[in-house]
Structure 1
């Protein structure tokens, strides 16, 4: 089952629609890339959606950032943002061509409240970013032990 999501940037120059199979905003990523490109709270929240369904209005207003990694390589992940207002919109990585990861902060459609949250990449979080942990939340210094799809399946979402 998929959920139709609509999103936009702050200035309205870019709007998008996508079908999401993992629409619950449960996973908070504290890595330096997500934190600095899309996470003013010290983390970013990415959703899982079907790349083939992504429809974009205002594509000419998009820019793409590919992160420079500590080992000197460039990430294959393409972080799309509005070149006018700077809103982080979605991440696409051709390594997984069927997926696109919209940022929950760019979604205008109401999103379901997650029954628990996963805090990942805590080993690289900013010192000031204190995770808001609730009972049942999971914590990982690096990557979690389940994917977006597995988490949604475990919760029958």
Structure 2
């Protein structure tokens, strides 16, 4: 049974729930998009949720944005609270069954991951010093494993 997660924006205009098989917030993305949109520590952390379970209160108070990448709009659609600007989740049409809430928007206590991925390090800000610990893995661009594979390979997949 997947874990039910509850999340919200800072001002309370938007709240949501979503079920997740992968609740460990392990992947820190240092790309310019994540860093600028939601990365207070120079990175952002996404969790993978099941789209069909996403329930939203205050959806009319959200704003969807699509970042321009190489001159064209990214296919990734990101949702924010239109009132306070809190980053809430991302969704990509190539994987419509998945919605990726930002860990920072989740109010449910999340489990501490046994290790972490640090990805897109080629794009980190010069002031960012990644806190890479024993057992963590670092990637200049994308990691070798998906969110699902990482959880399954560590017996952390919640069925």
TM-score (norm 2): 0.97
Structure-to-structure mapping, 1:1-157, within 5 angstroms: 1-69=1-69, 71-157=70-156
Question: How far off is 1:123 after superposition?
Answer: 0.3
Q: Secondary structure at the match of 1:22?
A: coil
1:76 Cα offset (Å)? 0.6
The secondary structure found in structure 2 opposite 1:64 is strand
Once the two structures are superposed, residues 117-136 of structure 1 have per-residue CA deviations (whole angstroms, 9 ceiling, x without a partner) of 00000000101111001101
Distance 1:15 1:140 in 2: 33
1:155 Cα deviation after fit: 1.0
How far is the alpha carbon of 1:40 from its aligned partner?
Answer: 1.3
Deviation at 1:21, TM superposition (A): 1.1
Structure 1 residues 40-72: Cα deviation after superposition (integer angstroms, max 9, x where no partner): 110000000100100000011000110111x21
Residue-by-residue CA offset, 1:93-130 (whole Å, 9 max, x unaligned): 11110000000000000000000000000000101111
Looking at structure 1, the residues matched to 149 and 94 of structure 2 have their Cα atoms a distance apart, in angstroms, of 19
SS state at 1:152 partner: helix
Unaligned runs of 5+ in 1: none
SS at match of 1:151: helix
Separation in 2, partners of 1:7, 1:99: 16
> Which ranges of structure 2 fall in alignment gaps of 5 or more residues?
none
SS class of match (2:7): strand
TM superposition score normalised by structure 1: 0.98
